[in-house]
Amino acid sequence: MTHDFYAGGAGDRLVDPDLYPPRIHELVGEEAALLDALPPGLGRLVEVGSMEGLHLDWAVARRTGYLGLDIVERYVRAGRRRIADLGLPPARYGFRLCGAEHIARLGLSSEGGDLAFFPFNSFGNITDLAGAVNGLAAARLPFVISSYQVSAEATRHREEYYRACRYRDVAVERDDRGVRFTSPDGLDTIAYDPGFLVEVFAARGVEVRPVEFAEIGLAYCTPGLAEPLRAAAGLPESTVRTGPSHEA
């Protein structure tokens, strides 16, 4: 998804709850459940693709620090206004204009309790996949990526969602990388096939575990986070295939 798609406002419809079909509402709610399941020691949630702070309220409610990262300046400005309006201490809560490929430059640390979280398929909206993976590899942070499954059911619900957002001529493409939706409005978003994405991370020396959640969600996380996330999703063990799994 292009920078201009968000900067121009077309992407705002993607986070309008009034436009969410039922399965999307469910997925958003289950994202918070995944965060609730994270083990103790989380000092700061680093939300990548944060917009104006999709999970800022979650962090404040749990007295967890928060850093929102986005590549769209107006989201960063709006997020900073929220911080000021809420009277939150800037030493613990903030926003930075930064993409995933540059996350290692921010001086974040797993020892300091930092954890990177990619909400609501923000990872699938990144144009430079290799840059994002390299950035995470260099940062050496624990992370959770929230995305979609690539099943026929998940694809149907995604299409319903994008059409509800009134994007024109929504098109879907399926290949070994995953399931991608595009529109002349600038929509360009992919749910990666788990086998493909696991291999991409492995090529950079990063081990990730896929965990299904909700009815259509698929999270990727660093190994130490897999068990609590599976428990939150009601899964005793991973049920995700890591070979090509999208359906026609």
pLDDT of residue 169: 98
Q: From edge to edge, which strands make up the β-sheet containing 65-70?
A: 93-97, 65-70, 44-48, 114-118, 143-148, 217-221, 209-213
Predicted model pTM: 0.93
pLDDT of residue 112: 87
Q: Is 171 helix (H, G, I), strand (E, B) or coil?
A: strand
Q: CA 145 to CA 46: how far, in whole Å?
A: 12
Per-residue pLDDT tens over the stretch 83-95: 999 999 999 999 9
Q: Report the 10 Å Cβ neighbour count for 122.
A: 25
For domain 3-232, the CATH class is alpha beta
Residue 237's pLDDT band (cuts 50, 70, 90): low
Per-residue pLDDT tens over the stretch 170-203: 999 999 999 999 999 999 999 999 999 999 999 9
